Amino acid sequence: MKESLSTIAERLGVSVTTVSRVLSGNAGKYRISKATEARIRAEADRCNYAPSLVAQSLRSRQTKTIGLLTPSLANPYFAEMSSVIISEVHRRGFTTIVIDTMENESNFNEGLTKLVARQVDGIIAVPCGQDHTMVDGVNSNFVPVVLVDRYYENFPLPYVTTNNYKGGYDATRLLIDAGHRSIACIQGVRTSAPNNERVRGYRDAMEEAGLKEFEFVAGNEFSIQNGYLETKLLLSRQLKPTAIFALSNNISLGVIKAIREAGLRIPEDLSLLSFDNYTYMDYMEPPLTRVGQPVEDMAILAAKILFDRIEGIAPGASQLRLSPTIIQGASVSRL
Amino acid sequence: MKESLSTIAERLGVSVTTVSRVLSGNAGKYRISKATEARIRAEADRCNYAPSLVAQSLRSRQTKTIGLLTPSLANPYFAEMSSVIISEVHRRGFTTIVIDTMENESNFNEGLTKLVARQVDGIIAVPCGQDHTMVDGVNSNFVPVVLVDRYYENFPLPYVTTNNYKGGYDATRLLIDAGHRSIACIQGVRTSAPNNERVRGYRDAMEEAGLKEFEFVAGNEFSIQNGYLETKLLLSRQLKPTAIFALSNNISLGVIKAIREAGLRIPEDLSLLSFDNYTYMDYMEPPLTRVGQPVEDMAILAAKILFDRIEGIAPGASQLRLSPTIIQGASVSRL
DNA sequence: TAAATTTGCACAATCGTTTGAGCGTTTTTT
DNA sequence: AAAAAACGCTCAAACGATTGTGCAAATTTA
């Protein structure tokens, strides 16, 4: 059923070595005669031979595989990122093993272990949690790791991320410039560096505008539910904000749901500015004004850095922040 | 750096065999003494040994890996499906290699070849194109394949799909019951069985209601662009439809774009009914009325059928159609 | 014609694991 | 005390590919 070098060698009455040398294109280098080469090639074609990547991997200690650890393929942000990474990996003749960590630190570490056991040649990861001992161990002892989106602050692991501070700052400025003063911010996971950078951008913009007293940050998850619940609380406060800055796509959906339930309209009664870009946001009611991350560029760069490391090329800078872009919708009103 | 059975064996002065038997839990079966077992376990723990899955795969002819061929992770429908499949595969202690075929038949076939070369234990695939010789060859000669979403008509490859005929029929009935007569249908890829079943459902419902003269089917791709262009054409015809039945999520986005450009409103001027369900559709303007496919169930079932085959359990029925569900939005008006 | 060179290929080890068979040594049985 | 059984472990082959070395036979050189 399955052909191997030895089945071909036997049928042709030559050695496995010779077959291997011909089929791996080293016939010339080892002085295999044209005649023998032709016979071997013909037979390999006929029986549709394909080398076993498993055996090659064992021998060469290279699996031609990279691992991708992502928090959730169900989130369009990560799905798009994964899609680009997979195609970049494919372009280089490698394949991708995808592990969905479900935003869970122990799943993440388990996934890392699994990838190491499979001897992948490199790993691209969106980390979960703040403990970097495991990833760092893998990166320095076994296989190169490059982080995307999230990273560990003040820690020398290569990463590619959005300039989240700028995103947070610019977004908040946009709201302030539109006349808003009471701007609430609903955040995601507090152990996430991007989240904290966004918050820092928000705070700096507020303080710069002398709006420190209006600062308000709540929430703890990048989920629809978190956005929903925090908005519910927000709307029951004495001092209602005139604008909400939601730090992710999912959070925004929750915010919208709560606002609608309260019978309020966006942006007439309350303005909303979201992080993350997604086609569907143009079709929403109203189309969302948002801070888009350069997902594609980030994915491409992460792949490039990883493959440079795999090939032993010392990368230049390897902690990169790419600028976000503000995309105008109609969810922010001028006061 | 990397530990192996032999490094441990050498340090302990025992044979590789013994170490292997202890660590694979066969110490008892092969009468290894408690003392030796303890020594080996301790040393393995100490040096953090993990067996090489590559070597195990070579020896056991099992890679504990399944391949997933999907047309596009950027499409939320397939992203969600992939997410569920990956987690089902993970649950069984396997990992998933994901290949994005970009809706391209030759990418699909190339992907198949690659998965076979990697000796995956099984494949879950959303096929592209109508030529099944390659997939069939793989399925009957190398590794079990299960199709999801799309399939080949009258061909004995196992698949799990939506009852697309019912989806098309029910959706069209819903429009007819709401008083629509001129209902246009914008389809996707014409070589796709699900597409054709949806169209058949549409046609049957139209004919049953005596609306054969209003039947109109156009389009050829599951893309935003196709939805957009076909709607542009549709709106320039003499007899404008009062409702559009779009056969996928992406097509619907294009339809909406074109309708908005024409300055028309949904559903006041034109009703829209979409195939596929997605959280974002609830937040759109207006929320879409749609035919939701049981994505999660399909994914779970496909995984189950595949693993049954891998374990040699003869599956019962293996060509399954699951019922779709209509989800009420506000994009269909009563005439 | 003998020596040197080139040609054409095969041997055997290796990657890390698994597994049937085997072989001394100790313990039990008779 | 001799035979049988149990114990505790090792040998070596195998999975499928790669690769340095080696060895005849054919060809060229001197």
- Test the B interface: residue of A23, A61, A96, A100 with most B CBs within 10 Å: A100
Same domain, B90 and B38: no
Same domain, B222 and B284: yes
Same domain, B249 and B128: no
Q: Do A74 and B80 make contact, defined as CB atoms within 8 angstroms?
A: yes
Closest CA relative to residue A112, chosen from B69, B50, B117, B115? B50
Give the rounded percent of residues in chain A with a pLDDT score beyond 70.
Answer: 99
Contacts of B253 in chain A (CB under 8 A): 279-280, 283
Q: What's the mean pLDDT in A129-152?
A: 94
Residue B330 lies in a domain: no
Q: Tell me, what's the pLDDT at B239?
A: 86
Contacts of B99 in chain A (CB under 8 A): 86, 90, 95
Separation of alpha carbons A191 and A186, rounded Å:
15
Report the distance from CA of residue B2 to the C1' of nucleotide D21 in Å, as an integer.
Answer: 28
Contacts of B113 in chain A (CB under 8 A): 50
Per-residue pLDDT of A196-238, as tens digits, reads 999 999 999 999 999 999 999 999 999 999 999 999 999 999 8
In this structure, the strands spanning A122-125 and A145-148 are parallel
| A83: closest chain B residue by CA | B73
Q: Do B97 and A100 make contact, defined as CB atoms within 8 angstroms?
A: no
Residue B13 lies in a domain: yes
Same domain, A34 and A175: no
Separation of alpha carbons A64 and A121, rounded Å:
6
- CA dist B183 to A251, B200, B257, Å? 37, 14, 19
Residue A272 lies in a domain: yes
Q: Is the pLDDT of residue A316 over 70?
A: no
Same domain, B275 and B226: yes
DSSP-derived secondary structure letter, A284: B
Give the rounded percent of residues in chain B with a pLDDT score beyond 70.
Answer: 99
Nucleotide C10: closest residue by CA–C1': A15
Per-residue pLDDT of B217-265, as tens digits, reads 999 999 999 999 999 999 999 889 999 999 999 999 999 999 999 999 9
Contacts of A65 in chain B (CB under 8 A): 97
| B1: closest chain A residue by CA | A141
Confidence of residue A68 (pLDDT cuts 50, 70, 90): very high
Separation of alpha carbons A218 and A226, rounded Å:
9
Residue B331 lies in a domain: no
B290: tokens are 């749609």
- Test the A interface: residue of B280, B281, B282, B285 with most A CBs within 10 Å: B280
Instruction: Scan for tokens 């199709």, then name that residue.
Output: B147
pLDDT per residue as tens, chain B (335 positions): 689 999 999 999 999 999 999 999 998 889 899 999 999 999 999 999 999 999 999 999 999 999 999 999 999 999 999 999 999 999 999 999 999 999 999 999 999 999 999 999 999 999 999 999 999 999 998 899 999 999 999 999 999 999 999 999 999 999 999 999 999 999 999 999 999 999 999 999 999 999 999 999 999 999 999 999 999 999 999 889 999 999 999 999 999 999 999 999 999 999 999 999 999 999 998 999 999 999 999 999 999 999 999 998 876 668 999 999 999 999 999 98
Alpha carbon of A321: minimum distance to chain B alpha carbons (Å): 23
Residue B146 lies in a domain: yes
Q: Is the pLDDT of residue A315 over 80?
A: no
Same domain, A83 and A145: yes
**Contact B323/B164 with Cβ under 8 angstroms?**
no
Q: Tell me, what's the pLDDT at A1?
A: 64
Q: Can you give the three-state secondary structure of B281-331, one letter per residue?
A: HHHECCCCEEEECCHHHHHHHHHHHHHHHHCCCCCCCCEEEECCEEECCCC
Q: Tell me, what's the pLDDT at A238?
A: 86
| A71: closest chain B residue by CA | B83
Please give the order of strands across the beta sheet that includes B325-327: B216-218, B183-186, B243-246, B271-275, B289-292, B325-327
Question: A260: domain CATH number?
Answer: 3.40.50.2300
Q: What's the mean pLDDT in A283-290?
A: 93
Question: A41: domain CATH number?
Answer: 1.10.260
Closest CA relative to residue A115, chosen from A90, A93, A139? A139
| B258: closest chain A residue by CA | A283
Q: Do B142 and A1 make contact, defined as CB atoms within 8 angstroms?
A: yes
Buried b (16+ CB within 10 A) or exposed e, A297-334: ebbbbbbbbbbbbbeeeeeeebebbbebebbebebbbe
The torsion angles phi and psi of B325, rounded to 5 degrees, stand at -130, 135
- Bases in strand D with any atom closer than 7 Å to a protein CB: 7-12, 14-21
Range of the domain at A249: 164-293
The torsion angles phi and psi of B292, rounded to 5 degrees, stand at -90, 135
Same domain, A86 and A191: no
CA angle B324, B327, B328 (to 5 degrees): 150
Q: Tell me, what's the pLDDT at A2?
A: 83
Q: Tell me, what's the pLDDT at A335?
A: 87
Separation of alpha carbons A94 and A83, rounded Å:
14
- Bases in strand C with any atom closer than 7 Å to a protein CB: 7-12, 14-21
Beta bridge partners of residue B186, listed in sequence order: B218, B246
Report the distance from CA of residue A34 to the C1' of nucleotide D28 in Å, as an integer.
Answer: 21
Same domain, A141 and A181: no
Which residue from B76, B113, B285 is facing A76, i.e. has the nearest CB? B76
- Spell out the residues 6+ positions from residue B309 whose beta carbon is closer than 8 angstroms to its own: B122, B144, B146, B158, B315
Q: Do B86 and A73 make contact, defined as CB atoms within 8 angstroms?
A: yes
Report the distance from CA of residue A20 to the C1' of nucleotide D19 in Å, as an integer.
Answer: 10
| A258: closest chain B residue by CA | B283
Same domain, A76 and A182: no
Same domain, A91 and A240: no
Per-residue pLDDT of A294-309, as tens digits, reads 999 999 999 999 999 9
Q: Do A279 and B224 make contact, defined as CB atoms within 8 angstroms?
A: yes
Residue B57 lies in a domain: no
Residue B334 lies in a domain: no
Q: What's the mean pLDDT in A66-86?
A: 97
Q: How far apart are the first and last CA of chain A?
A: 74
Alpha carbon of B209: minimum distance to chain A alpha carbons (Å): 33
Residue A329 lies in a domain: no
Question: Per DSSP, which regions of chain B are E strands?
Answer: 65-70, 95-100, 122-125, 145-148, 159-162, 183-186, 216-218, 243-246, 271-275, 289-292, 319-322, 325-327
Same domain, B147 and B173: no
SS3 B47: coil
Same domain, A171 and A273: yes
Buried b (16+ CB within 10 A) or exposed e, B115-127: bbbbbbbbbbbbb
Cis peptide before B324 (omega within 30 of 0): no
Q: Do A97 and B96 make contact, defined as CB atoms within 8 angstroms?
A: yes
Q: In total, how many domains does chain A have? A: 3
**Contact A186/A230 with Cβ under 8 angstroms?**
yes
Q: Which residues in 50-109 of chain B line strand C, with CB less than 7 A from it?
A: 51-52, 54-56, 58-60
Q: Tell me, what's the pLDDT at B317?
A: 65
Please give the order of strands across the beta sheet that includes A122-125: A319-322, A159-162, A145-148, A122-125, A65-70, A95-100, B95-100, B65-70, B122-125, B145-148, B159-162, B319-322
